[in-house]
Chains A and B, each alone.
Chain A
Amino acid sequence: MQAVENKSYSDSKQEMQVVAFQLGLEEYAVDIINVQEIIKLHKVTRIPRTEPYVEGVINLRGNIIPLFNLHTKFKLPARGSSEDQRIIVFQLDDIKAAIIVDKVSEVLHINTGDIEATDHVYQGMNASHINGIAKIEDRILILLNIYKILINDNIR
């Protein structure tokens, strides 16, 4: 998994599909390969005695899936109505985990050549949380390293 973590896309000229979504004021994207599904807001069960960015757990067809709040984790302002909010469920190795996003924009094809490596730090994120920045026309997408954010940061 180390390879995925540090992967810089700028060397190759391949196309990749990403799910673009809004979180606070910025637009972010994750590799679609890790996305299991996108669902509407669910009844969340709070988990006591854990980090504040653990929103709780949800029941997805009998599976109990932890739900993380990246607004809290990276101190991003919440934006948009709860109508637009979605839960993105990820399948990472054998672990399922989900995040709340303010709005899912679309599924995009991006050229890996358009992705720039960055060591810029956004809000509470550091460089290891970000795989790069993609510029598509006038949009800027921050590609998240979801494996690092959900697994490496949380595994006990």
Chain B
Amino acid sequence: MTTIDMSQYLDVFLEESREHLANLNRCLLELEQQPHNGAALNEIFRAAHTLKGMSSTMGFEDLADLTHHMEDVLSSLKEAVLEVNGQVTDVLFRCFDRIQIMVEGIERERSGELDNSDLVALLETLKSGDSQAAALAEPAPVPARAAQAEGEAPVRFELNDYDLALIDEARNRGFKVLLLEVEVDQNCAMKTVRSFMVFKALESEGDITKAAPPVQDLEDGKFDSGFSLLYVTHLNAEEVQRRINGISEVRANSVKEFGLDEYQAGQVPDQAEADRGNPAAQAQPADNGSKVQKFKQKVRVDIEKLDEMMNLVGELVMHKGRLEQIGLISKNSELEETVEQVDRITTELQSVVMKVRMVPIEQVFNRFPRMVRDLAKELGKEIDFIMEGQETELDRTVIDEIGDPLIHLLRNALDHGIELPQERLQGGKPGRGMVKLSARHEGNNVYIEVEDDGRGINLERVLEKAVNKGLISSREAEQITAEEAFRLVFTPGFSTAAEVTDVSGRGVGLDVVKAKMEAIGGEISVASKAGRGTRFTIKLPLTLAIIQALTVSVGEEIYAIPLSNVDETTMISDQDIKMVQNQEVILLRGKVLPLYRLRSLLDVPGEAPVQESTYVVVVRKADRQAGLVVDALIGQHEIVIKSLGKLLSGISGLAGAIVAGDGNVHLILDVASLF
């Protein structure tokens, strides 16, 4: 497993590599059009050099090796030993494409291993000044290094299209392509030396294009008793065999013409393998310069600077609002037009800044596979853990908050959801359970789901518990819908686990998860089928920093209510208010709506104004509605949420504050904890 530190460097490496690649492609395009453009050549040289240094520092040897050979050719160009022509730029473009494939490979699987002997050979030929021959792709005597370790099969070369073309070409030109099975004596003390001597003997009369195991392994002595080679030579098989057998402790078991058809017949058309083993083919369609557009320059920015930027944009949004008001009052059409422009630009700026702050949810997801694995082991359960949509982006503020709730849900799924293997088999399910964590965008929201194929939520037991704990009456239990019943699991003080285990812990239940989600403007719901599994769905806003809010006044004070909590506003007269069990209520379209007076909820100084009608803001608190009585409605605004700070955190009913256009501070109400 890659350590965090390493992956941090890796990010920098990947980003910078992409930048250099973009640079390389751009400059090479320039150079292609103006072969005497020294500045472009210098830039290419510089970028290639840096790339070489970086990749060798990071230990990506294949990448370093390729860039090293590129650099050789580039310095020949610089010294004017070599001329910039179509072949040269062609080969270089192909090198860049290959580098990109390697960089992508590094990003995907943390390894940039790739057999670049074909390109290296081309570069060598270029450097030797024979650019015409380069087009013919004559391989240079550079030991081939197969991209992947060979399997048990006696001959298992990874040949890409390029290699195949090369073999074909060699044949056409009268060379023989031989397949050699070389055996080194079991008692040989220095196998490496023997293999080296074989190479030496062969390379004087031809080229070894492939080796299995790879040359690196042969050099390190990492092979059993023998190895296979693909050898292009003008010698005949007997002569080759004789030469090898001339080396002590080494025997050529077989030397025969390499059958291309046989090889191809033996190849399993495995797409994934073909993709990996066949970089040249992949690079082919990208050979022209059109793909330069694909690369993007990136800058690493301190997150604090982004926060500051967000704050400033927030201020701007506020003052824009103020400007709009002035425009409306003054009825100056020129001002109105300008304000409209400012409005458009501010909105755009806001969305750009918002996008800049987005980070992939991967940051949170990354730690889960290990956690799930360990936990499954501890619980004696077998689990396939699937993650999807790690690339889904969320505002950093939201990302910071979802880690713990997700851990809780995953633990729940593992502990309570998935059954023990035996139980699963008895129930006709596969012994391995499945837990899936997925994220996706939908409109202005992000949905995160934690799904398992475990035993599901037992509705009867939920209801029994709820009645036992006095959460609902037994009468209510009879009439309750399945949906409502599932919702009970989020009620404080509810836990369905028959026994409390170490894993899910004691006391902390789904109610905490729900509270946390609501605190960041999210919602959580659950769906379940007995015996089939459970799915928790979390719906989150894309961002928390800027929201729409309704501002209201009570006495001298002004409060903002997040619009996501507001269902509607209405006006009632005093006669509409009824008393039920000491609680003021109104009837809103036949539904009983409890009334809360903001003045008394918040101890606002002063008396309520005497007026014929009263304003009521109908707010939604989870699945319940309530009416908030206010003195006046001011309007709907885009507001920038600011924290009240550490010293005033955790005050019930307050979600934060805003700085209004006139510089005054107004408080934002947190409907979930207000009443």
A residues with a Cβ closer than 8 A to B are 43, 45-50, 54, 57-59, 62, 64-66, 95-97, 150-151, 154-156
Tell me the nearest residue of chain A to B559, going by C-beta: A48
Contact pick for A49, options B557, B647, B652, B664, CB 8 Å: B652
A57 touches B644 (CB 8 A): yes
Q: What distance in Å separates the Cβ of B123 from its nearest Cβ neighbour in chain A?
A: 55
B647 touches A95 (CB 8 A): yes
Which residues of B lie under 8 Å from residue A45 when comparing CB positions? Answer: 557, 657, 664-667
B5 at the interface (CB under 8 A from A): no
Which residues of A lie under 8 Å from residue B649 when comparing CB positions? Answer: 156
Contacts A64-B642, A64-B659, A96-B645 given; 6 further ones with Cβ under 8 A?
A43-B663, A45-B666, A46-B557, A48-B667, A65-B645, A95-B647
B646 touches A95 (CB 8 A): yes
A47 touches B644 (CB 8 A): yes
A-B contact pairs, 21 of them (CB 8 A): A43-B663, A45-B557, A45-B665, A46-B557, A47-B644, A48-B651, A48-B667, A49-B602, A49-B654, A50-B651, A54-B648, A57-B657, A57-B665, A59-B663, A64-B644, A64-B659, A64-B665, A66-B647, A95-B646, A150-B647, A156-B650
B648 touches A66 (CB 8 A): yes
B659 touches A48 (CB 8 A): no
A47 touches B653 (CB 8 A): no
Query: Within the assembled complex, what's the spacing in Å between the Cα atoms of A26 and B674?
Result: 40
B311 at the interface (CB under 8 A from A): yes
Which residues of A lie under 8 Å from residue B653 when comparing CB positions? Answer: 48-49
Query: Within the assembled complex, what's the spacing in Å between the Cα atoms of A35 and B649?
Result: 23
Query: Within the assembled complex, what's the spacing in Å between the Cα atoms of A49 and B598?
Result: 12
Contact pick for B602, options A48, A54, A59, A150, CB 8 Å: A48
Q: What distance in Å separates the Cβ of B393 from its nearest Cβ neighbour in chain A?
A: 27
Tell me the nearest residue of chain A to B666, going by C-beta: A45
B residues with a Cβ closer than 8 A to A are 311, 315, 557, 602-605, 642-654, 657, 659, 663-667
Query: Within the assembled complex, what's the spacing in Å between the Cα atoms of A154 and B664?
Result: 24
Which among B645, B650, B665, B667 has the highest number of chain A CB atoms within 10 Å? B665
Q: Which 7 A-B pairs have the closest CB atoms?
A: A48-B602, A45-B665, A154-B647, A66-B647, A59-B665, A59-B659, A156-B650
Which residues of A lie under 8 Å from residue B646 when comparing CB positions? Answer: 95, 155-156
Query: Within the assembled complex, what's the spacing in Å between the Cα atoms of A6 and B659?
Result: 38
B644 touches A48 (CB 8 A): no
Which residues of A lie under 8 Å from residue B311 when comparing CB positions? Answer: 62
| Contact A66-B645, Cβ < 8 Å, known A47-B654, A59-B664 | yes
A64 touches B557 (CB 8 A): no
Tell me the nearest residue of chain A to B311, going by C-beta: A62
A97 touches B647 (CB 8 A): yes
Which residues of B lie under 8 Å from residue A97 when comparing CB positions? Answer: 647
Query: Within the assembled complex, what's the spacing in Å between the Cα atoms of A57 and B651?
Result: 14
Q: What distance in Å separates the Cβ of A36 from its nearest Cβ neighbour in chain B?
A: 14
Query: Within the assembled complex, what's the spacing in Å between the Cα atoms of A95 and B648?
Result: 11
| Contact A43-B664, Cβ < 8 Å, known A48-B603, A57-B657, A59-B659 | yes
Q: What distance in Å separates the Cβ of B626 from its nearest Cβ neighbour in chain A?
A: 18
Which residues of A lie under 8 Å from residue B651 when comparing CB positions? Answer: 47-50
Which residues of B lie under 8 Å from residue A46 when comparing CB positions? Answer: 557, 605
Which residues of B lie under 8 Å from residue A65 when comparing CB positions? Answer: 645
Query: Within the assembled complex, what's the spacing in Å between the Cα atoms of A54 and B644?
Result: 12
Query: Within the assembled complex, what's the spacing in Å between the Cα atoms of A150 and B602?
Result: 24
Q: What distance in Å separates the Cβ of A19 from its nearest Cβ neighbour in chain B?
A: 21
